[in-house]
Structure 1
Amino acid sequence: MTTDYGGIPNEVLQDMENKFSADPKNRLAQNVCYTANPKQILKNQSSLNNQVHVFSCKVPTEGKPMSNQKASGRCWIFACLNAMRCSVMPSLQCDELEFSQNYLFFWDKLERCNYNLDSYIECARRGETFEGRLVSHLLTSPSEDGGQWDMLVNLVEKYGVIPKVCFKDAQSAAESRILCGIINNKMREFCKRLQTMVFEKASDEEIQKEKSSMLQQIYTTLSICLGTPPKTITWEYYDKSKKYQKIGPITPLEFYTTKIKPIFNMQDKLCIVNDPRAKNPYNKLYTVEYLNNMTGGRPVLYVNQPIGVLKELTMKSIADGEAVWFGCDVGKYNSIKPDGILDLKALDYNLVFGFSALGLDKEGRLNYGESLMTHAMLITAFHKENGESTKWRIENSWGDSDGDKGYLIMSDDWFSEFVYEVVIDKKFLTEEILAVTKQTPVVLPAWDPMGALAKL
């Protein structure tokens, strides 16, 4: 019986079924994957079993306890504070130290809403409407959890940092989806109201008054859900010698400027990216339109370099004792739970499906929407053999159940394919790279993949 329906012809469908059934391996794979998570079947056990946490060069101090961002997109904040504690724990004589992620989370949410409200007003004055790609992009998730390095500089340099015991995680920080939904709802409403006011020729004074009222609603919501950040703190702890220590009363900004900044200066660190797209040459400075969290703050800037430069700079930093914040596409070719492995050999797609998941190169993955930065972590060690890097030790922020009590192993080829940016102190950079920072940045569109936020 034939039909007039379109689509794939019946004889083609039958041919595909015949070819599938003719291969016994396909039937075996079907039997297994039908009742199990395909990713578990894809695992290459021989590759996973060869990974050991022994490295030729490691920072002298790794942070304790292992942090856990839980059900939130705060990895970029966790990775920054984890890098900070690695550097300052010796001077503070701490065996364990964790800074308050909830504290920076609060201020990022508030400042980002203020920045977005200003952006809505500016877009309206440019004649942009909700029907255009730009405003549509800005409204996708106005209260995004994720972020970029320069956003962290803005927050820490303005608000400082505090130990976690002085401002612990709220439930709405550890499980942020509901809070983000509430703020997203109001921000889209606010965008409509502000843009309408601009289009109807309201005065600047009227618009700013309305914006102030909106920001107060956001502040109230954040304070209810996350708590009100302390203006001063007193931190009491036992040092390595079990002696009582006390710092404070002191403001969070004073704590940062006196105890942290002399050792770990946020402003001295630059984001070096690997964007191999032909349209974005190396040795150029880039930024992304409407990518920030603070009006009038430090812009988000990238120095584009070949991937080998990112590796060399990372090794130089670690060899000098400083761990490296980095952004990557964590969801590709991994066996994190429970193995703690990021490796192109970790999953064998060819064995199960008969094809590779690496059909696109890094440039192609960026151009065709297959990959972008999704997660930020910390590199604390590397291993070299015959003068070449072979693997890297990674401090994650997903608790201590995976890998080596929360530490992962990243293979060198995985670094090449899925690492997009590293943050390096200026003292490790060459004069040629520093000269790039003096350029007028090339402005990429707001939706460019290099504007992706670390949020997993």
Structure 2
Amino acid sequence: FCRLPVVSLGISFFSSLLYCYMLTKAVFSVILKSRITNFKQITVAAMSTEPLSLETLKKLHDDFYSNSKNELAQNVCTRYDPFEVAISRRRADSALHVYNIKVESEGKPVTNQENSGRCWLFAALNVMRLPFMKKNAIEEFEFSQSYLFFWDKIERSHYWLNNIVATAKEGEKLDGRLLNFLLKDPINDGGQWDMIVNLVNKYGVVPKKIFPESFSSRRSLHMNALIKTKLREYAKELRDKVAAKASDADIQGTINKQIAVIYNIVATCLGTPPEKFTFEFYNKEKAYQCMGPLSPQEFYNKHVRPLFNVDDKVCLVNDPRESNPFGKLYTLHCLGNVVGGRQTAYNNQPIETLMKVVKDSIQGGEAVWFGCEVSKRFERKNGLEDLDAQDYRLVFNTEVQIGMKKADRLLYGDSCMTHAMVFTAVGTDDKGNPKRFRVENSYSDKEYDKGYLLLTEPWFREFVFEVVVDKKYVPQAVLEVFKQTPVVLPAWDPMGTLACPCCDKENRQ
């Protein structure tokens, strides 16, 4: 805007240039001050009109030290973990691992997922192995968790890439909430029950001795980092193709090439699963036994499915939010692992229904896969999951972790399913009501009561979200819900949280 007629102004060229500079500076100064003022007004309007004053902070300080208990708590908590300090010695000492209803025998050895988020796979295979071990009189046995882990990485990457294409075709913006959610964590170790069904039905299972652990199955962080960065790179490539109106065949060809790279990464890190194998073992009587040669699918269909059929198991959840009534079927947008596979389905029921089917299943001799928020009110040394395991009010003069109702904790991001384990026993009162549950975890036998937890009925109500039982233990009226067309919840809904993206050893709270 500074095109000044130098001659008409009767000033030199350099004076004119200086004038332009000063005028430009003045104008920009006014604009900048205006914007800063507007920003301050917006910021102040959005925040409290009463900032913390020095007088308020002085009063908080004086009030804190007016109670000698606060000073004692401070002395202890500055030296030790506040979670440990809050443990109730009285409650921990009264926790007894005694149950009147149990499965016939528990699986050996106690499994260990180590530094990975594979709890959902460990829990499922821990349940599956019980009838297999009984039928074949095997004293110690594990199905290969790494085998299903391998195929889940391949399938989930393929599923995610197809979601990227679908959302691009639907016009989802790159900076929109859905794409932000998908790109933030393209893949992790966690999963849901219906994902297990997809993997087992498509790929079968193998004994752990046939496909053992590897470094990256035990410590998956760096392998996942490699996969994630490639998936984000491929997301851009696919979105660019959709924007350029590439044909479906072209896009599918691109996905196939991308999956070939992902396969190479996973196979390099985990090893390559067997196409056929022979399983040789000694039973409890030291008699030689042999199964095979056969494929993983044949092994499952012949030796496992007749004893434990994943298609006969159903998933019941407890989501008490008013927006999601009981007696309804729900699913999650973009949640799954196999294109064309079984859809994730949540049959929402009152917590009492979940407790009853767990008890009935264990009474019938079948252990139960379940999902919960494991870290809340958890006394680690003795393996106690109880609302009174810690007395935070005694230490901090306020309630912690149970200050809101279960529904509100879901709504405000303070609770969700983080870990999957197995119920193997239940203790009841004189009326047959469940009061405590025995839980098989997958953190080795060095933790808790030789690898087992005690979970109380009040804790179950607050922090258990999902159970999986055989449909024969479920009332017909509840089974009818599975015939409904599911309500689709958004991809970021807390009920879509996977067990267990952060339940590995390094991330346990």
Structure 1 length as normaliser, TM-score?
0.98
Amino acid at match of 1:26: N
- What's the offset of the Cα at 1:86? 1.4
- Residue in 2 that maps onto 1:438: 483
- Which residue, 385, 401, 404 being the options, matches 2:429? 385
The CA deviation string for residues 74-94 of structure 1, in whole angstroms up to 9 with x for no partner, is 000000000001122110111
- What CA distance in whole angstroms lies between the structure 2 residues aligned with 1:115 and 1:320? 37
Amino acid at match of 1:333: R
- Which residue, 433, 448, 452 being the options, matches 1:403? 448
- Which residue, 426, 448, 456 being the options, matches 2:493? 448
- Residue in 1 that maps onto 2:194: 150
- What CA distance in whole angstroms lies between the structure 2 residues aligned with 1:242 and 1:343? 42
- What CA distance in whole angstroms lies between the structure 1 residues aligned with 2:487 and 2:249? 34
The CA deviation string for residues 407-456 of structure 1, in whole angstroms up to 9 with x for no partner, is 11001110000000000111111110111110011110100011010011
- What CA distance in whole angstroms lies between the structure 1 residues aligned with 2:150 and 2:92? 39
Unaligned segments of structure 2, at least 5 residues: 1-49, 504-509
Q: Percent identity?
A: 48
- What CA distance in whole angstroms lies between the structure 1 residues aligned with 2:278 and 2:416? 41
SS in 2 for 1:165: coil
Aligned length: 450
Unaligned segments of structure 1, at least 5 residues: 1-5
- Which residue, 50, 69, 83 being the options, matches 2:94? 50
- Residue in 2 that maps onto 1:160: 204
- What CA distance in whole angstroms lies between the structure 2 residues aligned with 1:54 and 1:434? 32
Amino acid at match of 2:386: D
- Residue in 2 that maps onto 1:271: 315
* Alignment check: 8 A CA contact 1:402 1:408 kept: no
Alignment of 1:242-321 (within 5 A): 242-321=286-365
- Residue in 1 that maps onto 2:122: 78
Larger mean CA deviation between 135-144 and 289-298 belongs to 135-144
The yes-or-no answer on 1:368 pairing with 2:415 is: no
- Residue in 1 that maps onto 2:216: 172
The CA deviation string for residues 103-124 of structure 1, in whole angstroms up to 9 with x for no partner, is 0000000000000011100000
Alignment of 1:6-21 (within 5 A): 7-21=51-65
The CA deviation string for residues 202-253 of structure 1, in whole angstroms up to 9 with x for no partner, is 1222211111110000000000000010001111111010111111111111
The yes-or-no answer on 1:332 pairing with 2:369 is: no
* Alignment check: 8 A CA contact 1:79 1:376 kept: yes
- Which residue, 270, 273, 276 being the options, matches 1:229? 273
SS in 2 for 1:415: helix
The CA deviation string for residues 48-88 of structure 1, in whole angstroms up to 9 with x for no partner, is 11112110000002100000000000000000000001122
- What CA distance in whole angstroms lies between the structure 2 residues aligned with 1:350 and 1:294? 46
- Residue in 1 that maps onto 2:397: 354
Runs of 4+ residues deviating >3 angstroms: none
- What CA distance in whole angstroms lies between the structure 1 residues aligned with 2:114 and 2:195? 21
- Residue in 2 that maps onto 1:105: 149
* Alignment check: 8 A CA contact 1:61 1:87 kept: no
Amino acid at match of 1:224: T
Amino acid at match of 1:20: F
SS in 1 for 2:209: helix
The yes-or-no answer on 1:31 pairing with 2:94 is: no
- What's the offset of the Cα at 1:405? 0.6
SS in 2 for 1:230: coil
- What CA distance in whole angstroms lies between the structure 1 residues aligned with 2:252 and 2:458? 51
- What CA distance in whole angstroms lies between the structure 2 residues aligned with 1:76 and 1:419? 14
SS in 2 for 1:166: coil
Structure 2 length as normaliser, TM-score?
0.88
Q: Computing the radius of gyration over CA atoms, which structure comes out larger, 1 or 2?
A: 2
The CA deviation string for residues 299-343 of structure 1, in whole angstroms up to 9 with x for no partner, is 00011000000000000000000000000000100012x211111
- What CA distance in whole angstroms lies between the structure 2 residues aligned with 1:32 and 1:261? 54
- What CA distance in whole angstroms lies between the structure 2 residues aligned with 1:49 and 1:333? 15
- What's the offset of the Cα at 1:359? 1.0
- Residue in 2 that maps onto 1:66: 110
The CA deviation string for residues 341-394 of structure 1, in whole angstroms up to 9 with x for no partner, is 111111000110011111101001001000000000000000001222110000
- Which residue, 124, 131, 135 being the options, matches 1:87? 131
- What's the offset of the Cα at 1:7? 4.1
SS in 2 for 1:437: helix
- What's the offset of the Cα at 1:130? 1.8
Amino acid at match of 2:438: R
Larger mean CA deviation between 72-81 and 129-138 belongs to 129-138
- Which residue, 345, 353, 361 being the options, matches 2:388? 345
Larger mean CA deviation between 425-434 and 307-316 belongs to 425-434
- What CA distance in whole angstroms lies between the structure 2 residues aligned with 1:351 and 1:237? 55
The yes-or-no answer on 1:211 pairing with 2:255 is: yes
- What CA distance in whole angstroms lies between the structure 2 residues aligned with 1:217 and 1:277? 42
Amino acid at match of 1:303: N
- What CA distance in whole angstroms lies between the structure 1 residues aligned with 2:144 and 2:277? 12
- What CA distance in whole angstroms lies between the structure 2 residues aligned with 1:109 and 1:304? 28
- Residue in 1 that maps onto 2:465: 420
* Alignment check: 8 A CA contact 1:20 1:26 kept: yes
SS in 2 for 1:164: coil
- Which residue, 196, 201, 213 being the options, matches 2:240? 196
* Alignment check: 8 A CA contact 1:125 1:198 kept: yes
- What CA distance in whole angstroms lies between the structure 2 residues aligned with 1:67 and 1:32? 35
Amino acid at match of 1:411: T
CA RMSD of aligned residues (A): 0.8
- What's the offset of the Cα at 1:10? 0.3
Amino acid at match of 2:456: S
